[in-house]
């Protein structure tokens, strides 16, 4: 029987939500192996002077436990 674990990562980027998602995956992959899926639960943007300056994601990353 396979066991899947889920962790939650908060990440941000000044380029966009896709880049923030990639940053979350890159950060998780430094210490987690066998990553299988990434699910974006929430999106958020930081606004300054009527412009989006940072994009944030709340990512749930699942991986296979050895």
Whether the CB-CB separation of 4 and 19 falls below 8 Å is answered with: no
Give residue 66's pLDDT: 84
- Fold assignment, 3-65: Dodecin subunit-like (3.30.1660)
CA 5 to chain centre: 15
- pTM above 0.85? yes
CB-based contacts of 43, cutoff 8 Å, min separation 6: 17, 55, 56, 57, 58
Coil vs helix vs strand at 43 = strand
Sorted by where each begins, the domain ranges of the chain are 3-65
Give residue 52's pLDDT: 97
Q: What are the pLDDT tens digits along the chain (66 aa)?
A: 899 999 999 999 999 999 999 999 999 999 999 999 999 999 999 999 999 999 999 999 999 998
Give residue 42's pLDDT: 96
């Amino acid at each position: 029987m396979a066991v899947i674990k889920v962790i939650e990562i908060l990440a941000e980027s000044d380029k966009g939500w896709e880049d923030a998602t990639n940053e979350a995956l890159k950060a998780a992959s430094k210490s987690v192996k066998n990553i299988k899926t990434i699910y974006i639960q929430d999106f958020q943007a930081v606004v300054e002077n009527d412009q989006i300056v940072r994009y944030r994601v709340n990512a749930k990353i699942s991986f296979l436990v050895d």
